[in-house]
């Protein structure tokens, strides 16, 4: 192995040597043809000249990278596209008797291949749905005579499914009916009942997405609704207003109720278990909701961003009183270099100091706060800071696998991140070095990584440990938990790398299903090590994944089937020698709020909002927001984001996607770490202070200096009455007190140096 100094000498001016020192013996599990790949790289200009002996000089790569706009997805092949085109032409020409029989057999046996449902819409980012779902969309467009013919052949099966599911309260079977028979006569009954069940189970946003599909198509040919509905329009619209009220989205509820009352003011029907005037019942309910305090939000912080929807907003604002305790954290893995084209010491990578990255995120439930590192799981008592269960130190579990104590390979791109998930008395974490993509010329072998499950009731007893499918695979981050399943993202090193969503047993760590989402090129171009920390978002029975590879997907938590997949505009060109703040958005999962997904992907300078029900892009930010790193949550009709500064974006109305506030003015970045929202206030950490910002007033209310306590800013979490601040090498706990939202504070300005 050539020493690092010789690597640097072999590279051209301004170029970066691809490989670092070997960290462990490599055992390749898949074939790799070096001559073929070397020839390809020579053509692409990544290799230098050959030496006199004919040996290939160490490859190098420059800082400028280019990204293709369209990711690879599991799309139907050219033969299927041809057959689909023939069917569409036959249906458009009215040749139903010729097209329908073969078409029905075809979609009944269809697999999960995807169809671009927006392919006939110029200028619209491609959006995909499964072939079977697209078949139902085509059937829904049939004229009445042809639709009746289809229903005569299919409704018998769907009727049996409906009555079985209704009798057994089987949401999965009812959902299957909707997915397989949206054009049938029983789809509207199924959607109605699914909405009712969702309301009973406390999921009004899910109910809203079901009931919306009972209305005439607002989205033209891409709308996946029922072709006709046996329920009266006022009954459906009244339930949509009800869902808005129960979601707590009062502005939307008021707007919808006003429109409803103007159209159907005297309309009555069965509502809330009795016959009543819809508008009267809704007005009474809205009045009651306005007059009572919001229900308390759980005081726990079990996963990144506080909950499975990645959108936790604490019910009540608080005052930071004083530090309660502090404890040291092991330094993050030694970084040989994060970016070879700049001097990292004293510089910033994203918004963080390169020599003090804020890579740890805490989770807290009940009386313990937890932090996962590459090789250790640490815990402290929330109130005292002492180790739990009388342990001598905070290390609850430690793994001694070879290589975990070593530093990152040379030239690893991206920030190193570590988080964990607490659920059902257990802790789940992804352990090992945070490398998720390895250079193709190494065979793609990824440094040691694995998932673990720890029994909290058993004082940290290791329940199971699961490895990725092979050596060129890596777990991206910790999973989310639903019932007896866990859901985790995986990456497979390749050119380009591939992202998968997988389901494992929560009890034993056995694999249940795995779903390919997409593949696309990344800044490392298959020549550099890369670090990611992809995390899923969970709402109801749907998982949402922002891949940072040009697309976001919705996947059934029960079956692993893709419900929709939407692409978005990526950057076309970037420069690793520049501090491109958006490249350090990590973790950057989807934020789910009231039926809308918000995302700030690492491969775009924009922020996007998508309809969670169908993946349609509702808006993208009116301006490039390169400085945004974290999406914190939604307050009223504003999306709060942070990074180099604080940002507020309008979420609704004619200015949706517009930036209503950027604070503070100035050129120097201030933010360090991820803050949180409580009540109407944002708590925003900077290097030496925490700013308390009033969203309604659009100004800071208070600044809490960290300097008197010798602390630095970091990532926040909250549990009980304790605020946690997780820095580069230290975790600190603060005592807090609940305060009234209208407590007067003196406006403050940022540090004069900024």
Highest mean pLDDT pick, 133-147, 460-474, 661-675: 460-474
Compute the distance between CA of residue 192 and CA of residue 207 in angstroms, rounded to an integer. 9
DSSP 8-class letter at 459? T
pLDDT value for 402: 63
Compute the distance between CA of residue 512 and CA of residue 693 in angstroms, rounded to an integer. 45
Angle at CA of residue 114, ends 113 and 116, nearest 5°? 155
Band of pLDDT at residue 31, cut at 50, 70 and 90: very low
Segment 447-462 mean pLDDT: 93
pLDDT in tens, 701-726: 999 999 999 999 999 999 999 999 99
Count of alpha carbons within 13 Å of 567, Cβ hemisphere only?
Answer: 26
Sign of the CA dihedral running 72, 77, 78, 83 = negative
Compute the distance between CA of residue 212 and CA of residue 325 in angstroms, rounded to an integer. 50
Sign of the CA dihedral running 558, 562, 568, 571 = positive
Angle at CA of residue 605, ends 600 and 607, nearest 5°? 35
Tokens found for residue 678: 């409580």
Tokens found for residue 578: 């520049």
Residue 347 scores a pLDDT above 90 = no
Q: Which residues of 568-593 are buried (b: 16+ CB within 10 A; e: fewer)?
A: bebbeebebeebbbbbbbbbbbbbbb
Residue 28 scores a pLDDT above 90 = no
Give the bridge partners for 751, in sequence order: none
Measured from the Cβ of residue 293, the count of other Cβ atoms closer than 10 Å reads: 7
Q: Which residues of 231-240 are buried (b: 16+ CB within 10 A; e: fewer)?
A: beebbbbbbb
Nearest to 438 by CA among 415, 419, 401, 413: 413
Nearest to 526 by CA among 498, 495, 505: 495
Residue 20 scores a pLDDT above 50 = no
Cis peptide before 664 (omega within 30 of 0): yes
pLDDT value for 96: 82
**Rg of the chain taking only CA atoms, in angstroms:** 27
Q: Is 650 helix (H, G, I), strand (E, B) or coil?
A: strand
Burial class (CB in 10 A: 0-12, 13-18, 19+), 37: middle
Nearest to 613 by CA among 321, 274, 208: 208
pLDDT value for 345: 41
Band of pLDDT at residue 383, cut at 50, 70 and 90: very high
Compute the distance between CA of residue 352 and CA of residue 685 in angstroms, rounded to an integer. 11
Residue matched to tokens 């339930």: 239
pLDDT value for 11: 36
pLDDT value for 223: 66
162 backbone dihedrals φ, ψ, rounded to 5°: -60, -50
Which residues, including other chains, have CB under 8 Å from residue 31's CB and lie 6 or more apart? none
pLDDT value for 331: 87
Going by their DSSP bridges, the two strands 530-531 and 435-437 should be labelled as: antiparallel
**Which is more confident, 188 or 6?**
188
Q: What is the 3-state secondary structure (H, E, C) of 357-416?
A: CCCECCEEECCEEEEECCCEEEEEECCCCCCHHHCCCCEEEECCCCCCCCCCCCCCECCC
Tokens found for residue 563: 């419900």
Q: Cα 190 to the chain's mean position, in Å?
A: 29
Minimum mean pLDDT among 298-302, 362-366, 377-381, 589-593: which range?
Answer: 298-302
Nearest to 528 by CA among 442, 459, 589, 614: 442
Band of pLDDT at residue 268, cut at 50, 70 and 90: very high
Sign of the CA dihedral running 341, 346, 347, 349 = positive
pLDDT in tens, 35-67: 444 433 443 334 333 333 333 333 567 889 999
Segment 124-131 mean pLDDT: 92
Residue 34 scores a pLDDT above 60 = no
Give the bridge partners for 465, in sequence order: 452
368 touches 723 (CB < 8 A): no
Mean per-residue pLDDT over the chain, rounded:
86
- H helices within 265-387, ranges in order? 278-291
Segment 122-137 mean pLDDT: 89
Residue 403 scores a pLDDT above 90 = no
Residue matched to tokens 């590879």: 549
Burial class (CB in 10 A: 0-12, 13-18, 19+), 97: exposed
Compute the distance between CA of residue 689 and CA of residue 607 in angstroms, rounded to an integer. 27
pLDDT in tens, 594-638: 889 999 999 999 999 999 989 999 999 999 999 999 999 999 899
pLDDT in tens, 130-162: 998 888 888 888 889 889 988 998 999 999 999
Cα–Cα distances in angstroms (integers) from residue 89 to residues 53, 77, 118, 358, 488, in the given order: 62, 18, 17, 56, 41
pLDDT value for 484: 93
Cis peptide before 21 (omega within 30 of 0): no
pLDDT value for 295: 64
């Amino acid at each position: 192995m050539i020493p690092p100094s010789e690597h640097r000498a072999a590279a051209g001016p301004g170029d970066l040597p691809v490989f670092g020192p070997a960290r462990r013996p490599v055992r390749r599990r898949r074939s790799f043809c070096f001559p073929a790949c070397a020839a390809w790289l020579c053509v692409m200009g990544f290799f230098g000249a050959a030496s006199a002996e004919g040996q290939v000089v160490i490859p190098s790569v420059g800082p400028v990278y280019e990204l293709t706009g369209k990711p690879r997805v599991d799309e139907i092949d050219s033969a299927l596209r041809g057959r689909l085109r023939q069917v569409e032409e036959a249906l458009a020409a009215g040749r139903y008797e010729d097209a329908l029989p073969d078409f029905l057999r075809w979609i009944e046996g269809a697999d999960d291949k995807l169809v671009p449902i927006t392919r006939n819409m110029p200028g619209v980012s491609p959006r995909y749905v499964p072939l079977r779902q697209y078949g139902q969309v085509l059937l829904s467009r049939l004229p009445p005579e042809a639709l009746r013919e289809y229903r005569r052949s299919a409704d018998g099966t769907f009727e049996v499914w409906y009555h079985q599911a209704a009798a057994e309260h089987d949401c999965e079977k009812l959902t299957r009916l909707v997915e397989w028979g949206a054009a049938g006569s029983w789809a509207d009954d199924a959607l109605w009942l699914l909405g009712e069940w969702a309301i009973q189970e406390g999921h009004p946003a899910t109910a809203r997405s079901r009931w919306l599909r009972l209305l005439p198509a607002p989205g033209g040919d891409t709308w996946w609704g029922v072709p006709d509905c046996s329920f009266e329009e006022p009954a459906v619209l009244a339930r949509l207003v009800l869902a808005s009220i129960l979601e707590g989205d009062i502005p939307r509820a008021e707007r919808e109720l006003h429109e409803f009352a103007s159209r159907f003011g005297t309309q009555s029907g069965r509502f809330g278990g009795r016959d009543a005037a819809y508008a009267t019942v809704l007005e009474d309910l809205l009045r009651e909701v306005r007059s009572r305090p919001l229900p308390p939000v759980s005081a726990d912080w079990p996963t990144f961003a506080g909950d499975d929807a990645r959108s936790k907003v604490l019910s009540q604002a608080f005052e930071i009183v004083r530090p309660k305790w502090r404890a040291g954290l092991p330094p993050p893995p030694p970084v040989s270099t994060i970016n070879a084209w700049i001097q990292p010491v004293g510089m910033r990578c994203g918004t963080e100091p390169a020599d003090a990255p804020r890579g740890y995120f805490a989770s807290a439930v009940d009386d313990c706060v937890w932090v996962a590192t590459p090789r250790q799981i640490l815990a402290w008592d929330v109130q005292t800071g002492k180790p739990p269960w009388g342990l001598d130190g905070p290390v609850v579990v430690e793994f001694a696998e070879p290589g975990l104590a070593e530093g990152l390979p040379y030239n690893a791109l991206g920030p190193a991140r570590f988080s964990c998930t607490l659920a059902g008395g257990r802790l789940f974490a992804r352990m090992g070095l945070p490398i998720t993509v390895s250079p193709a010329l190494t065979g793609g072998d990824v440094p040691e990584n694995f998932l673990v499950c720890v029994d909290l009731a058993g004082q940290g007893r290791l329940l199971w440990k699961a490895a990725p499918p092979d050596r060129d695979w890596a777990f991206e981050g910790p999973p989310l938990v639903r019932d007896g399943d866990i859901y985790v993202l995986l990456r497979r090193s390749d050119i380009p790398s591939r992202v998968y969503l997988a389901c494992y047993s929560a009890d034993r760590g056995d694999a249940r299903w795995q779903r390919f989402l997409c593949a696309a090129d990344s800044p490392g171009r298959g020549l550099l090590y890369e670090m990611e920390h992809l995390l899923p978002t969970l709402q109801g029975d749907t998982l949402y994944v922002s891949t940072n590879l040009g697309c976001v997907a919705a996947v059934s938590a029960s079956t692993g089937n893709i419900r929709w997949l939407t692409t978005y505009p990526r950057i076309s060109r970037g420069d690793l020698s520049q501090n491109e703040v958006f490249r350090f958005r990590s973790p950057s999962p989807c934020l789910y709020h009231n039926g809308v997904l918000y995302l700030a992907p690492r491969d775009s300078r924009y922020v996007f909002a998508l309809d969670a029900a169908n993946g349609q892009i509702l808006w993208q930010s009116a301006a490039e927001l390169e400085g945004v790193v974290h999406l914190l949550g939604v307050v009223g009709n504003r999306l709060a984001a942070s990074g180099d500064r604080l940002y507020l974006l309008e979420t609704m109305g004619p200015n949706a996607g517009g930036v209503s506030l950027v604070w503070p003015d100035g050129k120097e970045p201030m933010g360090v770490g991820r803050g949180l929202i409580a009540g109407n206030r944002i708590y925003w950490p900077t290097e030496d202070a925490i700013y308390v910002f009033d969203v309604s007033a659009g100004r800071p209310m208070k600044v809490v200096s960290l300097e008197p306590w010798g602390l630095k800013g970091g990532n926040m979490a909250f549990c009980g009455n304790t605020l946690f601040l997780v820095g580069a090498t230290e975790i600190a706990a603060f005592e807090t007190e609940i305060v009234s939202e209208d407590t007067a504070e003196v406006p403050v300005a940022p540090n004069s140096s900024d």
